[in-house]
Amino acid sequence: RKELSKLLKIIAGGQVDIVLIEYRDRIARFGYKYLKEFCRQFNVVIEEVDDRPNKEPQEELVEDMIAIVTSFSARLYGKRGGRVAKKLVQVIESEVAAGENDGNGSNP
């Protein structure tokens, strides 16, 4: 995560005193405690503006599991989609080239 890396460099450089976040899972889905400890080492406070009601641990776990499955599914289908699109482009280009070679635009 590029933006999180930038934020960590800014914190380590002493350029900020407070990091303001809307929800804790927006900055880091996992390892929030480590991030908070990192900030504490540089005298930076993470302020969370969360007006949502507190959830039960089971609810948070289910949401985290759904987020993980969604993320991996998107990556998997995104990779497949790119491969299929590339093949489709190749087939279309070969058909167009075959039509141009034919002279009358129809396939033999």
Asked whether residue 78 falls in the same domain as residue 42, the answer is no
Neighbours of 39 (CB within 10 A): 19
Hey, CA dihedral for 39, 41, 43, 49, is it positive or negative? positive
Residue 24 covered by a domain: yes
Contact 50, 43 (CB under 8 A): no
CA–CA distance, 88 with 86 (Å, rounded to integer)? 5
CATH number of domain containing 37: 3.40.50.1390
Give the residue numbers spanning the domain of 6: 2-48
| SS3 state at 107 | coil
Whole-angstrom distance, CA of residue 55 vs CA of residue 61: 10
Count the domains in the chain.
2
Q: What percent of the chain has pLDDT over 70?
A: 82
| CA 3 – CA 75 distance, rounded (Å) | 19
> 28, 48, 68: which is the final residue of a domain?
48
pTM assigned to the model:
0.50
Please indicate whether residue 82 or residue 26 has the higher confidence score (pLDDT): 26
Q: What whole-number distance in Å separates Cα of residue 80 and Cα of residue 10?
A: 37
Q: How far is CA 23 from the centre of its chain?
A: 16
User: Is position 108 within any domain?
Assistant: no
61 and 38 inside one domain: no
pLDDT band at 62, cuts 50/70/90?
Answer: confident
pLDDT for the residue numbered 8: 93
